[in-house]
Structure 1
Amino acid sequence: MDDILIKASGFGKRYAGHVAVDTLDMAVRRGELYGLIGPDGAGKSSLMKAVAGVLSYEQGSLEVFGQLLDSERSAEAIKDRIGLMPQGLGQNLYGDLTVEENVDFFARLRLVPRAEAAARKEQLLAITRLAAFRQRPMKQLSGGMKQKLGLVCTLIHAPQLIILDEPTTGVDPVSRRDFWAILAELIAGQGLTALVSTAYMDEASRFNRMSLLHQGRKLAEGTPAEILQQAPGSIVQCRVEPQLAAMQRLAAAWPQCEAMGPDIRLFVPEANPDAARLQVTTLLDGLDCRQLDVLEPELEDVFVAMLGGQQGGSAAPALAAQQPQPAGQELAIEAKGLSKRFGDFVAVGDVSFQVRQGEIFGLLGANGAGKTTAIKMLTGILPPSSGSGRVAGADMKQAGALIKSRIGYMSQAFSLYLDLSVVENIRLYAGIYGLDRKARAVRLQWILDMAGLHGHENDLAAALPMGLRQRLALGCALVHQPRVLFLDEPTSGVDPLGRRAFWDILFRLSRQDGVAMLVTTHYMSEAEHCDHLALMFAGKVVADASPQQMKQQVLAEAGQLYQVRADNAAALVAPLRQAGFTDVSPYGTALHVLTPDVARLGAVLRDLGVQHPPQARPIAMEDVFVQRVSQLEAQKAASGSKS
């Protein structure tokens, strides 16, 4: 068909005996925003590189622009119509060149005529709001700005097809949403076709159509609505006391059961809302069920359900049932006016918060907000410029060595020795923390049980799937049985099954063992798991409350969240913003709008030719994060323009 731009038939790619992609069929139409959804190792990058003509394949056929890609010559014939943005922040850019120099370099590389390149550069820098930073070196840009610059350089030669490999991985939620809005505007305005991969399941709803991939195979293909129908069921979210007893009952009946702070969230397959409510309330008979809501499943729920809820060692075994530890008032972490300056730059300024023993505390913020710096001060890695803090009962300034012996720390950059085996990593950390031979043997078995690593004892850490690797790193951080645990973006790059298993372990460590945890994350769905949150902006704590309290504050100030379905959703963003609706974002064939005036929203939509009325939907932590940070950025920009 003429409208098919990419067609894969029985496509397969192998690396030295390892099957990266296995007999995949896929078709991408012109003008589509098409998604490849799946965790690391799903085969996304291999397929995208083959479509771009930079990687050969061993099985099936692949056609792009009607050209069969079966040789270097055929791949060369279509390269001028393709733009490829590889995985990794700024991987296709040059750090020492400025924003403008990077764009000019790519224009020359692509042989774009000078006048045409200059005009297109100005247009793209305006759309991405990078024009004010044209003289800034790339290496000094934030993660989100690097990705927007990468997109500009990918588009400078006006390709018809752009291939973006996980463009938002490692980017904070505000920059992610901004990136998607820009991409939707470009596709709507310039008729581009985009093939985009992501490991963030919450981004899947932004695509026109997509394929869900797992271990090189396609699980499903279609629109978000079509894929949601492939695993029918209902989500039940309830608040029950005692929580641990309720979890044990519900998880025995339904494998997709997870703690969300004080709540429990579970997927009841093949059940309509009324039937799901009845099944759950019957099972909870005799317990104190204080609240129960039935919701529609999200795409991540469907993805996990397609894998059977638990699969292939990704999910951790349940920990042995223990008596729950009462959540005490004892402070495990206390920060008082913490500040850290590097010359004239204030990385953290006057930060205060408290974490109680047995509490899961989330520290949120955009890239550069100061989260990692705050953790490094509390753990004794960095000395503070001012302020004080206590961790695990010790003063952070005077008892650095004592604090390090009492805490566990999973850093964002380094947690394991990848060239050592599972057992060798555990024994090394046990030795570092001074465990004797008997204690070392006991903790080794505990970690293997906790992390589901039996059968992998002699595997190198580098060879483990990401989910198992992170659980091994968690085990190493817990080898000396600390009462306080610091986790800096612990699930980055982990698939949904692995993330859920990881958080199940954290929940049980918190509720059963009374371990206090401070967690940073860019997955806003994970913020729902926390008992309490602090939001950092420009080095300061600007909000400190539970997830539910933060949601209620935004609803009270900014209004209800509505979903608007429209065929031309992306094209409606600009007119809605002109009409005064500032909190609007495209999601594939829908828009999300945060507003207190739904009547006016409906009227404006009717004037724009939209037939479907706006539908209220539950607000998520991503909406809260974006609304709060966008508001603060606007205030900062306004105060800067006045000064």
Structure 2
Amino acid sequence: MQTATDPVEKIVVDAQGLSKCYGSQIAMDGVTLQVRAGEIYGLIGPDGAGKSSLLKSVAGVLAHDSGRLQIFGQLVDSEAASEMVKDRIGLMPQGLGQNLYGDLSVEENIDYFGGLRLLSREEFSERKEALLKSTRLERFRDRPMKNLSGGMKQKLGLVCTLIHEPRLVILDEPTTGVDPVSRREFWSILARLLKEKGITALVSTAYMDEASRFHRVSLMHAGKILASGEPEHIRVLAAGSIVAGVCADPGQQVLAAHRLSAQFPQMEVLGQEIRVFTDTTDRQQARTMVLDCLPDIALSACEVLEPELEDVFIALLRQKNLVRKETETDVVQLSSDGPRYGAQGLAIEAEQLSRTFGEFKAVDQVSFQVPQGEIFGLLGANGAGKSTVIKMLTGILSQTEGKGRVAGADVRTGGRQIRERIGYMSQAFSLYLDLSVLENIRLYAGIYGLTRKETAARMDWILDMAGLRPFGYSLTASLPMGLRQRLALGCALIHRPQVLFLDEPTSGVDPLGRRAFWDVLFRLSREENVTILVTTHYMSEAEHCDHIALMYAGRVVADASPEQLKRDVEQQAGKLYEIHCQDAPAALQQLQAAGFLNVALFGSRIHVLLPLPEHDLQKITAVLGSTGEISILPRRLSMEDVFVHIVTKLEAEDRHPGGAQS
């Protein structure tokens, strides 16, 4: 068997000018890239960018229309040529557990895939036990796949993909729909297994923040590659600075946002913070540019930060004139007749809400309050109980114990009142794709009993709010995902509800569409005083919330603003630092051996929480001093850091109750 250092293995995938069309729809448009042996190569972009088509072409399950593709040096230009390399490839398709069988147990699934690969009994047994141990699935051997959490399904899918030790593994959005703790564990396991076996990986993801976990990446949009290279090198392609600050007077936030959005095309509001991308790397100049737009508005805690990859992605789209007008936030307009709902009182109250299914307690004495006009985030891992709470609050599901009130109505007795006063947007797109935009709006107006005059007025409002006026007669199926979601939001708002429930509202939406969507939510909250309760798997979106309740195992384990949660984690676990070094996986093991517990691998970098920075930084330098040049930089805590810290700590307490070791 050849090793990763053999000349023929230096380039595992060589794609030159690949193109693919589905009728008039262009999926790949002249895609060119090379994947080197031993690296994790990432394809990053929204749904419809062309990632899956490229992965399927490389895996040999989709023929490209034009261009040249070589895998392991073999020209792949026919079905027969594809068959010559398939035994060296492992493919994990998009979707939780899509390559698995729900009624089979964990072990039965692995046995089935091992049988397909015709492995010897001894070879298969050794690999199976090693993979089960690496993924911590040993004690779940007999559990049916359909009863696993999302993260466990993906780990089992990875085991089945790697059981024959392929030299190239292809993973299509393996962490979509998986909570942050499971995401981090998945990437850690993958990096370790690939390094041990010398396997190359080609991975796609819609999460921009996962770029740091890859050796090299390609940013994809509309079938084309916008940029390729190491994540750090891509960041400098659209040079700029982020200016972040909080209005000293919260009542001036809307005015400040309006002024800044008129001057800067990349501006977003994250809870109480306003965040602006400026096209200059001069930090003082960037700060001055923003403050000059707000001569009569004071900003507190004003900082100048390095742009994230998502900021760079959007800036690149602007530079290449690829920003569709309908995704720009300046087309989004709300009514100007002032707040519909008063600022006083509570819009949502949950008091000791509980729900059991047989002997299983899905929700355990959950309590929280949401004031009118607030954006409230309900976060938690898969199976934490978030959806059950929403179903009880909307009257879809009755509670076993406890009380709840929504928009002034009791959830137990006020079913009709609640339905009239709330809007609900489910995770699954709930509109009719074969109806036009206007037909969908009229359908929802009829469901809520609007008069003809009310329907006409609200239809105009929705078309302006969602930037859909040019698309009124277009079939909904033809719209980009971002516009579909804004149409679904408009239909949920057609009867002007007091409270809006959103379940994973931006899943699959590109970064531009996601920002435009959240701009609408911010203005609904601030200008019309609509209360919004949202669940999301994008931890960056949690930053948009005014307040957050974090659920774990059916309970609320944290209830505060994002800023307060970050301060709490800093007090408990320390400040966040990022370590750059030559061999991050080896350095990670050295730090763990030296007693650093809150440490995680991020591609070629390491993130670590330090309770005593001065002492701990000296210790890190001493531990890693012999490994080559290192640099250590402070970083801001993200909501993902907060989520992972809290949930990981609770999981450890569950494994070792009272501090006892198992």
Normalised to the residue count of structure 2, the TM-score between the two structures is: 0.95
Q: Which moved more, 1:188-197 or 1:87-96?
A: 188-197
1:587 aligns with 2:602: yes
Cα deviations by residue, 1:440-489 (Å, 9 ceiling, x for unpaired): 11111111111111222222222221111110110010000001100011
1:145-294 correspondence runs (5 A): 145-240=152-247, 241=249, 242-294=252-304
Q: Report the Cα distance in structure 2 between the residues aligned to 1:323 and 1:586, rounded to whole angstroms.
A: 51
Q: Report the Cα distance in structure 2 between the residues aligned to 1:400 and 1:294, rounded to whole angstroms.
A: 49
Q: Report the Cα distance in structure 1 between the residues aligned to 2:619 and 2:421, rounded to whole angstroms.
A: 54
**Over aligned residue pairs, what C-alpha RMSD do you find?**
1.6
Q: Report the Cα distance in structure 1 between the residues aligned to 2:619 and 2:125, rounded to whole angstroms.
A: 39
Match of 2:584 among 548, 555, 569: 569
1:318 aligns with 2:332: yes
Q: Report the Cα distance in structure 2 between the residues aligned to 1:292 and 1:239, rounded to whole angstroms.
A: 7
- 2:136 equivalent in structure 1: 129
1:80-119 correspondence runs (5 A): 80-119=87-126
- 1:442 equivalent in structure 2: 457
Q: Report the Cα distance in structure 2 between the residues aligned to 1:464 and 1:599, rounded to whole angstroms.
A: 51
2:334–2:524 Cα contact (<8 Å) kept: no
1:335 aligns with 2:350: yes
1:22 aligns with 2:32: no
Cα deviations by residue, 1:403-435 (Å, 9 ceiling, x for unpaired): 001000011235212232211111111111110
Structure 1 position 322, deviation (Å): 4.2
- 2:3 equivalent in structure 1: none
| Structure 2: gaps of 5 or more residues | 1-6
1:344 counterpart letter in structure 2: E
Q: Report the Cα distance in structure 2 between the residues aligned to 1:320 and 1:159, rounded to whole angstroms.
A: 54
1:337–1:350 Cα contact (<8 Å) kept: yes
- 2:444 equivalent in structure 1: 429
Cα deviations by residue, 1:309-363 (Å, 9 ceiling, x for unpaired): 8435223413258487598341000111100100000000100001111100000
2:165–2:197 Cα contact (<8 Å) kept: no
Q: Report the Cα distance in structure 2 between the residues aligned to 1:626 and 1:496, rounded to whole angstroms.
A: 23
1:188–1:571 Cα contact (<8 Å) kept: no
- 2:657 equivalent in structure 1: 639
1:599 aligns with 2:617: yes
Cα deviations by residue, 1:496-515 (Å, 9 ceiling, x for unpaired): 01110000000000000000
2:591–2:620 Cα contact (<8 Å) kept: no
- 2:82 equivalent in structure 1: 75
- 2:407 equivalent in structure 1: 392
Q: Which moved more, 1:77-86 or 1:569-578?
A: 569-578
Q: Report the Cα distance in structure 1 between the residues aligned to 2:286 and 2:564, rounded to whole angstroms.
A: 27
Q: Report the Cα distance in structure 2 between the residues aligned to 1:248 and 1:486, rounded to whole angstroms.
A: 26
2:562 counterpart letter in structure 1: P
Structure 1 position 601, deviation (Å): 4.3
1:614 aligns to what SS in structure 2? strand
1:92 counterpart letter in structure 2: N
Match of 1:55 among 56, 62, 71: 62
Match of 1:556 among 557, 566, 571: 571
Match of 1:629 among 614, 629, 647: 647
1:401 aligns with 2:416: yes
Q: Report the Cα distance in structure 1 between the residues aligned to 2:377 and 2:79, rounded to whole angstroms.
A: 50
1:467–1:494 Cα contact (<8 Å) kept: yes
2:232 aligns to what SS in structure 1? helix
- 1:375 equivalent in structure 2: 390
Cα deviations by residue, 1:363-394 (Å, 9 ceiling, x for unpaired): 00000000010000000000000111110111
2:348–2:407 Cα contact (<8 Å) kept: yes
Structure 1 residues 380 and 414, CA gap change in structure 2 (3 angstroms): farther
1:602–1:614 Cα contact (<8 Å) kept: no
**Percent identity of paired positions between Structure 1 and Structure 2:** 60
Q: Which moved more, 1:610-619 or 1:425-434?
A: 610-619
2:278 aligns to what SS in structure 1? strand
2:631 aligns to what SS in structure 1? coil
2:14 aligns to what SS in structure 1? strand
1:323–1:512 Cα contact (<8 Å) kept: no
Structure 1 position 189, deviation (Å): 1.7
Match of 2:49 among 37, 42, 58: 42
| Structure 1: gaps of 5 or more residues | none
Structure 1 residues 147 and 207, CA gap change in structure 2 (3 angstroms): same
Structure 1 residues 497 and 398, CA gap change in structure 2 (3 angstroms): same
Match of 2:307 among 293, 297, 313: 297
Q: Report the Cα distance in structure 2 between the residues aligned to 1:198 and 1:111, rounded to whole angstroms.
A: 31
Q: Report the Cα distance in structure 2 between the residues aligned to 1:378 and 1:174, rounded to whole angstroms.
A: 27
Q: Report the Cα distance in structure 1 between the residues aligned to 2:661 and 2:234, rounded to whole angstroms.
A: 50
2:95–2:176 Cα contact (<8 Å) kept: yes
Structure 1 position 176, deviation (Å): 0.6
2:241–2:286 Cα contact (<8 Å) kept: yes
1:349 aligns to what SS in structure 2? strand
1:212 counterpart letter in structure 2: L
Normalised to the residue count of structure 1, the TM-score between the two structures is: 0.98
2:423–2:497 Cα contact (<8 Å) kept: yes
1:479 aligns to what SS in structure 2? coil
2:89 counterpart letter in structure 1: I
Structure 1 position 559, deviation (Å): 0.6
1:31–1:192 Cα contact (<8 Å) kept: yes
Structure 1 position 298, deviation (Å): 0.4
Q: Report the Cα distance in structure 1 between the residues aligned to 2:497 and 2:379, rounded to whole angstroms.
A: 23
Number of residue pairs the alignment of both structures matches = 643
Structure 1 position 73, deviation (Å): 1.2
